[in-house]
Amino acid sequence: MTCKGCHSDRQRMFNGEIAIHFRGLEGLDQPIVWVFQETVVCLHCGFTEFTVPKRELQVLETGSPVEGAVVLSRGRPQPQEKSGTKSASAGMN
């Protein structure tokens, strides 16, 4: 297998953990999606290739968390809460 970027055969497989963010200011209100996937890295030019699994892909398509996907949901900043109440807008699912 050769690199799609530079045609080198110096590629190696790694285990990857990649956090995908939506772009722009509106992305601040969108979830962050973690993808845990084997990743092929070209040791010559750095070109990296991986596939987003279907479940995480669905989060990227819809912008909404999906059961089983590792997502950090973020909403607009909430007004300051009284002590003892719990925020439902942020946290790992």
| Region 17-56 residues binding Zn ion, contact defined as CB under 5 A | 42, 44-45, 47
Least spacing, CB of residue 15 vs Zn ion, in Å: 20
The whole-angstrom separation of Cα 46 and Cα 84 is: 48
Q: Interface with Zn ion includes 3 (CB under 5 A)? A: yes
Gap between the Cα atoms of 86 and 90, Å rounded: 10
CB burial string 64-76: b at 16+ within 10 A, e below:
ebbeebbbebbee
- Least distance (Å) from Zn ion to the CB of residue 6? 3
Binding-site size for Zn ion (CB under 5 A) equals: 8
Binding site for Zn ion (CB under 5 A): 3, 5-6, 8, 42, 44-45, 47
